[in-house]
Amino acid sequence: MASLMQAAFDSLFQPGLNTPMRTAMDLSFYGLFIVLLGLAIVTGGNFHVIALLCIALGLFFSIHWFLAELARLPPSATQVQQMPPPEPTASSDPGSAESKKDS
């Protein structure tokens, strides 16, 4: 379990969603489902607990759908794009400021 947590923490600093992070996310959702199902049984099917369970299921499936759509993208679409180098402006060139003052 400690190696999964270490791998998930290390994957935070890498672009994209890696397998350890997805595994940690899935385990968290499974724990949430177990707790909400237990609460639904204990409370006799309380409407609020059932609503929370439905919201959690919707979030779980929508995240998995989104990740499946990301996997279908070509690799060039998921790469991090680099910013172009800044172009020099007239205000950053000290020589141009003096020439404007003289005119």
Q: What is the mean pLDDT of each run of 10 residues along the chain (103 residues)?
A: 72 72 90 96 94 96 91 72 75 56 57
The Cβ-side half-sphere exposure at 81, using a 13 Å CA radius, reads: 6
The pLDDT of residue 16 is 66
What is the Cα 87 distance to its own chain's centre? 32
Closest CA to 32 of 3, 13, 59, 14: 59
The pLDDT of residue 99 is 54
State how far the Cα of 96 lies from the Cα of 31, in Å rounded to an integer: 64
Angle at 58 between CA 27 and CA 16, to 5 degrees: 55
SS3 92: helix
Q: Enumerate the domain spans of the chain.
A: 2-76
